[in-house]
Chains A and B, each alone.
Chain A
């Protein structure tokens, strides 16, 4: 393509890059705050942690 003075315009567009799909892993078990965060939880669960699924602390 030429500009108004007749010179050829430099193509400043970015080179075409083919789109690609990237997967980013989601860990729902971490994201939902379903488990005890530490094994030292107070309250009614303090004595129960050893017998619950929350034995493995969530993150």
Chain B
């Protein structure tokens, strides 16, 4: 079998290798994913993309329905994501089948849903993010709904919170400080590495469109909320774990993954101080936070 198109992407130290042996499929990254393209190396996940006719297929047992773009099925120990949209007809426009460790994947793109003469990104959102969150949940780490900032002092802050909590606002406030690096304004991966907890930027940015493939050793976690003035309240471990859990993207249908994520967050809050940060959105908040150190 000859490979006609190949792409290596690395997010949070996870290398995805996407290949296609279809002569008419050119695999190409899109958007912020381009910043995460790397040279050829040993992959953690092998992904093969093909054109297919998805009108006549069985999917297995449905185990989760997102209520929107995708549903998840299970058959013979493998997982199958089915992507469909009423605007594209009754049949799925894409399916992605993974082995139970999320190390092998086959993506079938419905040839009637795509322009065959155009380059394609088979992991088009949300499949790329689902792939990484599931790989992590198999005992590697977790993705959080958070903004991540690296200070030149060595401090690495995670600002977590659900939509509207102030992640993008905080990223933009810190953006005015030239020395800091912003890993993401919306999605940060946490992993355990070298006896520490590390945070990684991801391609799945927020409105500020900040996405960096860099990483930093996490030193503090802040759970954001808007307020009239800046205020910090240290959080107990149980509350911090709860808040991290509600700011992550877990596979709710996978008991072992949920158990792992909760244990991982328990480990995180044992070593990383956690606070609730109520903040007024002006540049004084950065100095207020730096005053902690």
Q: What secondary structure prevails in chain A residues at the interface with B?
A: loop
Contact indicator A35/B68 (Cβ below 8 Å) = yes
Interface residues of B (CB under 8 A from A): 30-31, 66-70, 85-88, 93, 113-114, 120-121, 124-126, 129-130, 133, 145, 162-163, 186, 204, 206, 239, 242-243, 245-246, 248-250, 252
Interface residues of A (CB under 8 A from B): 22, 24-37, 40-45, 48, 51-54, 58-59
Contacting residues, chain B, for A22 (C-beta < 8 A):
239, 242
Contacting residues, chain B, for A43 (C-beta < 8 A):
30, 114, 120-121, 124
Number of A-B contacts (CB under 8 A): 92
Contact indicator A36/B69 (Cβ below 8 Å) = yes
Contact indicator A24/B125 (Cβ below 8 Å) = no
- Excluding A45-B93, A51-B87, 16 further A-B contacts by CB distance (< 8 Å) are A24-B246, A30-B145, A31-B250, A32-B67, A32-B252, A33-B130, A34-B67, A34-B68, A34-B70, A35-B68, A35-B126, A36-B125, A42-B121, A45-B124, A59-B145, A59-B206
Contact indicator B68/A54 (Cβ below 8 Å) = yes
The distance from the CB of B268 to the nearest CB of chain A, in whole angstroms, is 16
Q: How far is the CA of A33 from the CA of B163 in the complex (A)?
A: 13
